[in-house]
Amino acid sequence: MAGTSAGAKPAEWWERLVARLIEGLVFGVFYYILFITLWGAFRTVGVLDALDGRLPGVFAWLLAGLGYTVYDWVAHCTRGRTFGKAIMKIHVTPDDLPRRALLKRALVYPGPVMLMGIPVVNVLAGIFVFAVGLLILVDKPLERGPHDRLGRTRVAKDLG
């Protein structure tokens, strides 16, 4: 764990954003590998044209989003941070959160990424993810988003 949360200074919005962008790059690569694999598999079995050719994208977003959500939950349960947060030297506090609280947090964000492949729903999911970021900006002084409030967490800078 990153240390005790007593007296920890809240992470800046840009530190959180950079941490998510770092993770997004890795999971973006994972998405494209899944997409290409699924495109080949669906083409082989003859269902590539289902949903106007969107089927590989729907499944790739679903699987990559589910993977990202599970990763986010497990990383916060075991280390209190994801690899992006580790690079940015920030972590989720308090240190002794129950797994259930962290699961709620992960389902609210990045959970909606699972819906990004579904036409129309993807727009709503994108708006929701954008709104989470905006709410972090306006919540002063703790800079918490809806996922932080639901999980009763905050993201803080590492001590020392």
Residue 101, judged by CB atoms within 10 A of its CB (0-12, 13-18, 19+), counts as: middle
Residue pair 151/97 in contact (Cβ under 8 Å)? The answer is yes
144 vs 55: CA distance, rounded Å: 35
- Per residue in 47-56, pLDDT (tens digit) is 877 777 888 9
Torsion angles phi and psi, residue 12, rounded to 5: -75, 155
- Per residue in 100-139, pLDDT (tens digit) is 999 999 999 989 989 998 989 999 999 998 999 899 999 9
pTM greater than 0.85 (yes/no):
yes
Report the run of H or E that residue 34 belongs to, with start and end: helix 13-45
Assigned token pair, 49: 């044209």
Beta bridge partners of 155: 92
- pLDDT score of 28 more than 50: yes
Q: Where are the domains of the chain?
A: 13-157
